[in-house]
Structure 1
Amino acid sequence: MTARRRGAALEADLLDAAWAELEAVGYARLTMEGVAARARTGKQVLYRRWGNRAELVIAAMRHRTGSIADRVPDTGSLREDVLEVLRAGAERQRQIGPDTLHGLLAEARDVDPAFFGIMRGVLRTVVERAAERGEIPTADLPRRVLTVPTDLLRQEVLLSREPLSEGVLEEIVDEVFLPLVSRG
Structure 2
Amino acid sequence: MGVAGLILGLAGVQIIYSQITSLNPRYVQLQKLLSDQKWKEADDETAQKMWEVAGRQQERSLREEDFEKFPCEDLRTIDNLWVKYSKEHFGFSVQRHIWESADVNSDFDKFIARVGWGITQDNKITIYGLNLLSFDLTIPKGQLPVAVTYDGGNITTRKKYMSRIISCDIGAN
TM-score normalised per structure 2? 0.32
TM-score normalised per structure 1? 0.31
Which one has a larger percent helix, Structure 1 or Structure 2?
Answer: 1
User: RCO greater where, 1 or 2, for CA within 8 Å and sep 6 or more?
Assistant: 2
